[in-house]
Amino acid sequence: GAGVSQSPSNKVTEKGKDVELRCDPISGHTALYWYRQSLGQGLEFLIYFQGNSAPDKSGLPSDRFSAERTGGSVSTLTIQRTQQEDSAVYLCASSLGQGAGELFFGEGSRLTVL
Amino acid sequence: AQSVTQLDSQVPVFEEAPVELRCNYSSSVSVYLFWYVQYPNQGLQLLLKYLSGSTLVESINGFEAEFNKSQTSFHLRKPSVHISDTAEYFCAVTSPSGYSTLTFGKGTMLLVSP
C-alpha cells in the first residue's frame, strides 16, 4: 500500500491478556516509530527503529512493553499482561530516516482494556 | 533532552477570524520544528516544518509559523480560519542529528464555529 498500515484498528481485551499490534511501514522507509496517544496527554514516544541500529527503547513505560522489527520492515508492538491504563491509541510512523524527514503516520490501533 | 509546550489545550474561534496556536520548545541544541494536524477520525499529517533558512514557513492551506530562536517559539497562525480547519494541532521538535526522535506537545484543539 501507499501509506503506513496498522492492524488491528480496534482491539478490546481483558485485563491481564497479552496483545500484539502490527505496523507495516511505507516501503523503503528505514525509520519506524511507535507512539501512544492518550486523551489529554498528546503523543508519547515509545520506541524508535533506525535501519540496523539498536532501537531506542527509552520511551517504553514498563517491561510489559516490547517491540521488534523484522527484516527492517514490519514491526510488532507487544503488551503483556495488559492493564486498564494501557488503553490508548497506538500510532506507528515511518520516515526515510536520518534526521528530520517527515513522519508518515498510520491511523492507529485503538486498544481498550476492560 | 527536548520538550514542547503548547500553552492552550483548546482554542475556540469563529469562522473567518484570525487564530494563533502557541508553541514553545526547550532544547540545548539546534532544532528542527514541525506542526502536525489531526483531523477528526484521521491520522496525523505534516502541516509545515522549519529546518533552516527563512524563519517564516507556510503551508498550502494558508497556515504559517515563525521560528523565533530568542523566544524559543514556533507559533502557528492563520489570518482567516474555515470550519474545515477544525482539528487538533501538534507542535513537535527534533534535533538535526541523524538519530533522533520527534518530541510532541500535548496538542491544541482548534474549534471553528460559524
CA distance A98 to chain B (A): 4
| Mean pLDDT taken over chain A | 91
Shortest CA distance from B103: residue in chain A: A45
pLDDT score for A53: 84
pLDDT score for A99: 58
> Cα angle vertex A94, ends A90, A95, to 5°?
150
CB contact under 8 A, B90 and A42: yes
Dist CA A101 CA A95 (whole Å): 6
Question: Is a pLDDT exceeding 80 seen at residue B100?
Answer: no
Contacts of B48 (CB under 8 A, 6+ apart): B34, B35, B57, B58, B59, B63, B64, B65, B76
Question: Is a pLDDT exceeding 90 seen at residue B23?
Answer: yes
| Residue type at A36 in one-letter notation | R
Would you place residue A42 in the very low, low, confident or very high pLDDT band (cuts 50, 70, 90)?
A: confident
Across the strands, what pairs with A55?
A: none
Lowest pLDDT segment from A7-11, A13-17, A70-74, B42-46: A70-74
pLDDT score for B98: 57
CB contact under 8 A, A53 and B105: no
Is B7 an 8 Å CB contact of chain A? no
Separation of CA A8 from chain center: 12
Question: Is a pLDDT exceeding 80 seen at residue A96?
Answer: yes
Dist CA B56 CA B50 (whole Å): 8
pLDDT score for A98: 59
CB contact under 8 A, B44 and A100: no
